Every structure is written in structure tokens, then in C-alpha cells.
Chains A and B, each alone.
Chain A
């Protein structure tokens, strides 16, 4: 039996529910968006999952720096990788959606896209740092310190900067009304929130799997100390 199976089954159930209700449920009739508004159930939760993973990564980077226990570094780095893995489909789905609603795949003057671009560069540097430093402890320390900066910058780039910007195509940014105003009705919320919770739980599940795998690898390589 799998470890802690109940919330993993819950995650699968929530995502399956969001897939079924995402297509069968009622959505408001909006110009330009038309049926593509259903993308909200699949595109946005990816970003929420990514932010949660980067947050987990940040917390465990702090915990690593407080005592230099390598198990926290493993967890922190895995969370950053899972976050990156969720950001990639987030960007691709966003581009596909933008092609058919905003006219082109990458609207360069949209502040949300600029912020995402900057955040992705920040994390790309993080992955690069980890790949380039051979010694485990040095790698862990430098990447943990960098991670503290990286998550705060990502939060500013993705959550704060687009809201301060004068205009944005994304709802909730640059003076645009957020989901609550008219883009999303209560019927959509019944699908959107479970979808977000489901995808976040899926990302956490993926994180635990990768974390356990890396720990096994570490324990096999280092015979003396068990983590």
C-alpha cells in the first residue's frame, strides 16, 4: 500500500472532478474568451502549484541554513525542481490560450508575462548553480542562500509587480478586475477551487516521491550517516 494514501487519492479525485466539471459545468458567456474560459481550471492551478512548491523550497532553504542538515537541502531543491516542472506547462498552456484570445503567443508588454519571464530566469540560475557546484555542502549552502532571494523576487515579480503595473491582460492585474468581479461566477468557483487544491496536492505528492528517491540515493552513496 502507498504511504498516506488518503490525500493522494483525494488529489486524484479532485483533479478528475475538475476535468469532468470543467467541461460539463456552466460557464458565463463572454466575448473573445467563449469556451476557452474553461482553460482557467487547468492553466491557473499549475501556477498556484508552482508558487506553493517555490514557497516550500524557500521554507526548507531557511531550515537548511539553520543547522545545515542535508535532508532539508534535498527537500528544498526537489521542491524547486517540481515548481519548475509545473511552471513549464503553465507557460505553454498560457501561450496556447493567448494565441487564440490575445492574438499572439507571447504578449511582451503584459506585466504578468514579464514577471514570469524574470522569475523563470531567477530559477534557471538556481538550477544552474546547483548543477555547477560539485561539492554537496557548498552546493547546499550557496543554493539555499540564493533560494531566499529567489523566492522573494519571484513573489514580487509574479504577485506584486503585475498588480502595480498600469495595464495588463491578465485578470486581477494592472487595474483589471480580478476573478471575483465578472470573469468568474459562483458556478465556476465550485470547479476552480477544487482544481487548485487538487493540483497543489498532486505537486506535493510528486515532491514527496522525488524527495524519497533522492534520499535513498544519498543514503546509498553515504554509508555512515542515515538521513
Chain B
């Protein structure tokens, strides 16, 4: 193994040659990083990134929140109306009973 390595390296004995080799490898590695990045961007599933970056997503959140808040408020109002009705009916029944006793 060692012998084989020495044999290969002896061919690049020249300093110039070694430098070239180093730059070549560096280029290859850098290049592979570059390609890796590029392919990952192309392969990544499309998301609404620019929509989010524009800040327009806040408009959607606001609209939906308002819709839900209105419906919830309506439910609160109905809840209170039923409470009032319950009280009124209880009072009426009580008054009727008092009238019967009298």
C-alpha cells in the first residue's frame, strides 16, 4: 500500500505539480459543495416563502382572526341571552307559584 502510494506520489514530485493537484482537489471539493447547494434548492419542496417575506401572511392571519372572533362573540351573546331567558323563566314560574298559593 505504502509502496503504491510512494509510486504515485513520485510522479508528482515536482512542487508545481503538487500545487496543481492541491488546487484541483480544492476546486473539486468547493465545486461539489456548490452543486450540493444548488441541487438542494432545486429539490426542496416549494413553499410560499416570498409571500411570507412580503409580510402579507399577516393579512391572512388578521382576516381569519376577525372572522373567528366575530363568530365567538356571537356565541358569547347567545350564551348571555340564554342566561337571561333562564332567569326570566325561573322568575315567571316563581311568580306563578306565589300567585297560586295566594
Q: Which residues of A contact B (CB under 8 A)?
A: 1-3, 8, 12, 15-16, 19-20, 23-24, 29-35, 202, 205-206, 209, 212-213, 216, 219-220, 226
Contact B89 A216 (CB under 8 A): yes
- Is the CB of B19 closer than 8 A to any CB of chain A? no
Contact B46 A34 (CB under 8 A): yes
A185 to B: closest C-beta gap in Å: 14
Contact B45 A19 (CB under 8 A): no
Give chain A residues whose Cβ lies under 8 Å from the Cβ of B46. Answer: 34
Q: What is the CA–CA distance of A29 and B65 in the complex, to the nearest angstrom?
A: 25
Interchain residue pairs A-B with the least CB separation, the first 7: A2-B79, A12-B72, A29-B45, A31-B45, A23-B61, A19-B64, A212-B82
Give chain B residues whose Cβ lies under 8 Å from the Cβ of A226. Answer: 93
The B contact surface, by secondary structure, is: helix
Q: What is the CA–CA distance of A35 and B45 in the complex, to the nearest angstrom?
A: 9
- Is the CB of B26 closer than 8 A to any CB of chain A? no
Q: Mark B68-99, 1 if CB is under 8 A from A, else 0.
A: 11001001101110110110010001000000
- Candidate in B57, B78, B79, B83 with the most chain A CB atoms within 10 angstroms: B79
Give chain B residues whose Cβ lies under 8 Å from the Cβ of A12. Answer: 68-69, 72
Give chain A residues whose Cβ lies under 8 Å from the Cβ of B69. Answer: 12, 16
Among B58, B80, B82, point to the contact of A213 (Cβ < 8 A). Answer: B82
Closest to B73 in A: A12
Give chain B residues whose Cβ lies under 8 Å from the Cβ of A30. Answer: 45
Give chain A residues whose Cβ lies under 8 Å from the Cβ of B75. Answer: 205-206, 209
The A contact surface, by secondary structure, is: helix
- Candidate in B45, B58, B64 with the most chain A CB atoms within 10 angstroms: B45
Give chain B residues whose Cβ lies under 8 Å from the Cβ of A202. Answer: 72
B64 to A: closest C-beta gap in Å: 5
B65 to A: closest C-beta gap in Å: 6
Closest to A29 in B: B45
Closest to A11 in B: B72
Given A2-B80, A3-B83, A19-B64, A34 contacting B89 (CB threshold 8 A): no
Closest to A205 in B: B75
| Given contact pairs A33-B45, A209-B78, a sample of 19 additional A-B residue pairs in the complex whose CB atoms are under 8 Å apart | A1-B80, A2-B76, A3-B79, A3-B83, A8-B76, A12-B68, A12-B69, A15-B72, A19-B64, A19-B65, A19-B68, A20-B61, A20-B65, A23-B64, A34-B45, A206-B75, A212-B86, A216-B89, A219-B89
Q: What is the CA–CA distance of A20 and B78 in the complex, to the nearest angstrom?
A: 26
For window 28-44 of B, CB contacts with A under 8 Å fall at: 44
Contact B47 A35 (CB under 8 A): yes
- Is the CB of B8 closer than 8 A to any CB of chain A? no
- Is the CB of B48 closer than 8 A to any CB of chain A? yes
Among B57, B72, B76, B86, point to the contact of A23 (Cβ < 8 A). Answer: B57
- Is the CB of B101 closer than 8 A to any CB of chain A? no
Give chain B residues whose Cβ lies under 8 Å from the Cβ of A32. Answer: 45
Sampled A-B contacts (23; CB under 8 Å): A1-B80, A2-B79, A2-B80, A12-B72, A15-B68, A16-B68, A19-B64, A19-B68, A20-B61, A23-B57, A23-B60, A23-B61, A24-B57, A24-B61, A30-B45, A33-B45, A34-B45, A34-B46, A205-B79, A206-B75, A209-B75, A209-B78, A213-B82
